[in-house]
Amino acid sequence: MTIFNFRTARPVEYYRKYLEQDVRPDGRDLGEFRRTVLNIGCVTTADGSALVKLGNTTVMCGIKAELCKPKTETPKCGFIVPNVELSPLCSPYFRSGPPGEQAQVMSQFMLEVVNHSKCVDLESLCITQGKLVWVLYCDLLCLDYDGNVTDACVLALLAALKNVCLPTISINEETENPETDLTKRVPLPISSQPVSSTYAIFDDNILFVDPTAEEENLATGIITIVTTDDKLCLVHKPGGSPLRPEQLTNCFDRSFDRSKEISRLIDETIHSIDR
């Protein structure tokens, strides 16, 4: 049996053979992310945009800002509405039609990341208290699905938010109508940087970071950890194999390292665009 047939016929056994040597079939060790490529400001029709490639996985985020009326219970708060789209374009496993379960769960997860990390102060989106606020529609398009879309989405969203420049709005005192000044644009203040890292659990005890689509299918559990700078922000473990506390601690350590890598990557990208 050739190696290729073995991989197709007995995928779990195939992976076990590699993992015994603490390495994965694509040559990465267990704590290694795929090469991450970031491009900021690639869509000029959007108010902020970013493209992320994590190995083959590709996610594009475009942000459109609109004006709306705030809720009565939070008159000073604007809105951030993330929406993840997993269309049949990105993988043969998705069907066309209304958003599937996975896409809805992802959208909700992104909303939680935004709310809990407080990366954007919602009050900074206020124009007139109780009357006019910004709503930021953050659309995340998955263009190529090769596993770990969560991490790619969080990075794309953060990078796109950092790219947002909102026009200044003044209220005409006579007519009380808002007037937009498109020439004076101010960047959106970002107060913290949420960074997510996803781990797959294999055979109930081996953990490795940044799973590909194949690895996601073989995994007995998935855990996602979101950190903001040096603090823990969110841990998401939807069932699957139970973990020992020391395994979790290892994951946390790796996540904080990733957080530093990502903030360096974002700084470098923004710096290279400025020049």
Partner 1 sequence: MAGLNLLSDQGFRIDGRKPNELRRIQCKLGVFKQADGSAYIEQGNTKVLATVYGPHEIRGSRAKLLLDRVLVNCQYSMATFSTGERKRRPRGDRKSQEMTMHLKQTFDAAIMTNLYPRSQIDIFVEVLQSDGGNYCASVNAATLALIDAGIPMKDFVCACSASFVNDNPIADINYLEESSGGPELIVATLPKSDQIVFLEQNSRLHEDNLSKVIDLAVKSCKDVYTVLDRTVRDHVSEVSNSHGWDH
CA distance 92 to 76: 44
As measured in angstroms, the least distance from the Cβ of 58 to partner 1 is 7
Contact between 161 and 189 (Cβ < 8 Å):
no
> Beta partners for 66?
135
Q: Which residues bind partner 1 (CB under 8 A)?
A: 43-46, 49, 56, 58, 60, 62-64, 66, 83, 85, 87-92, 95-96, 137, 139, 141, 143-146, 213
As measured in angstroms, the least distance from the Cβ of 60 to partner 1 is 7
Residue 55 or 70 having the CB closest to partner 1 = 55
Residue 139: name the closest of 47, 34, 19, 208 by CA.
Answer: 47
Residue 145 or 258 having the CB closest to partner 1 = 145
C-alpha dihedral sign at 207, 212, 218, 224: positive
- Quote the tokens at residue 210: 């940044």
Residue 19 or 43 having the CB closest to partner 1 = 43
Greatest extent of the chain over all pairs of C-alpha atoms, in Å: 82
- Quote the tokens at residue 163: 């790219």
Residue 66 or 261 having the CB closest to partner 1 = 66
As measured in angstroms, the least distance from the Cβ of 210 to partner 1 is 16
As measured in angstroms, the least distance from the Cβ of 91 to partner 1 is 5
